[in-house]
Structure 1
């Protein structure tokens, strides 16, 4: 698996989902409990900046990860943040570098490939969260592609296996949701990551 390329595909797919948001969508609910589209977009934008800072050598500092209110052009701000993190991850040797993911912990570093893996999974999932909030989840799933779904499953099974850890407060992913075996691969991925593929907007 080309981890950096898979992450790039995940991020670009999420950018397209954000670009497709209609006017007035920022207040709509998302599958992230209690989070509107606008609130989720704040989180996604800040996470790009945090991961970019980590990849470029920032220490155990929470400042780059802090969320800011949406500006006048949230779609443009999101696209710029996506470009920044992809540029940071493209640096030579980033997969083998030790980086600080300060939002997770300030007590130790992570190997760069672990950071990229976490980022990949977040943006496959949050891209769908954005798309399904406006009734576009099925089309989004069709754009992800088999290779990215397979890569996401590999990352998920390695770093976020289902089990009791997902029930702890603050867990990044909830317990898996049963999905029929004959369901499309992307829907099975959603279920494994704790999302209901049948989630209704509104």
Structure 2
């Protein structure tokens, strides 16, 4: 996929996720999520850190792992912190069209750089997964964006379902079989270890 298309798909799904995040109240922060170890507050904190980290990567910053670290945030500031980070990453990804450069998106592997279109697509995976997580946790509809979901599915479909998924800190849990006749979103969710039937 070319960089311009990846950025446009990212922009569309990011704004849909932002709409969901804006529904979060302080009372919602303690709700459980499909990420079993995280509350809504934890999930938003992680999403904020990912936005900041990917934005730093788009700027070519590779030496500061703190950009990827979840920072303690007062409950009443949690949603604002996320919206601020969403603004930053949209701006920095837009700048990639003028200065495309390889991006390091895993601080633990500072020599592993991805082409910018691939790095942006990796963040689309984050947004689709966690946008769905957040919507489910709040009990609101998640419609997603079909082309972005298709991109996310393409990015994860060949990830092995092996023992690495059972280790602490693994990005995805064990895959959940869903069959081949379901839609891209359900297949994507199964690959990243989520059941489309999850409810709080």
Could you say which TM-score interval applies, normalised by the shorter chain?
Answer: 0.7 to 0.9
Question: Which residue does the alignment assign to 2:121?
Answer: 117
Question: Which residue does the alignment assign to 1:91?
Answer: 95
Question: Which residue does the alignment assign to 2:194?
Answer: 195
Task: Specify whether residues 146 and 110 from structure 1 end up closer, same or farther in structure 2 by C-alpha distance, changes over 3 A only.
Answer: closer
Q: Give the Å deviation of 1:135.
A: 1.7
Whole-angstrom CA distance in 1 between matches of 2:172 and 2:23: 25
Say how many residue pairs are matched: 196
Q: Give the Å deviation of 1:92.
A: 3.9
Whole-angstrom CA distance in 2 between matches of 1:191 and 1:95: 36
What SS does the aligned partner of 2:95 have? coil
1:11-26 matches, cutoff 5 A: 11-26=14-29
Question: Which residue does the alignment assign to 2:9?
Answer: 6
TM-score with structure 1 length normalisation?
0.86
Is the contact between residue 60 and residue 101 of structure 2 (CA under 8 Å) also seen in structure 1? no
Deviations for 1:30-79, whole angstroms, at most 9, x for unmatched residues?
11121110011111111111111110121222121121122333222211
1:9-48 matches, cutoff 5 A: 9-48=12-51
Question: Which residue does the alignment assign to 2:148?
Answer: 148
Question: Which residue does the alignment assign to 2:177?
Answer: 178
Task: Specify whether residues 102 and 94 from structure 1 end up closer, same or farther in structure 2 by C-alpha distance, changes over 3 A only.
Answer: farther
Consecutive unaligned residues in structure 2, runs of 5 or more: none
Is the contact between residue 100 and residue 110 of structure 1 (CA under 8 Å) also seen in structure 2? yes
Whole-angstrom CA distance in 2 between matches of 1:94 and 1:156: 28
Q: Give the Å deviation of 1:170.
A: 2.5
Q: Give the Å deviation of 1:153.
A: 1.2
Whole-angstrom CA distance in 2 between matches of 1:113 and 1:104: 21
Q: Supply the RMSD in Å over aligned alpha carbons.
A: 2.2
TM-score with structure 2 length normalisation?
0.87
Question: Which residue does the alignment assign to 1:57?
Answer: 60
Deviates more, 1:113-122 or 1:81-90: 113-122
Deviates more, 1:39-48 or 1:174-183: 174-183
Is the contact between residue 187 and residue 197 of structure 1 (CA under 8 Å) also seen in structure 2? yes
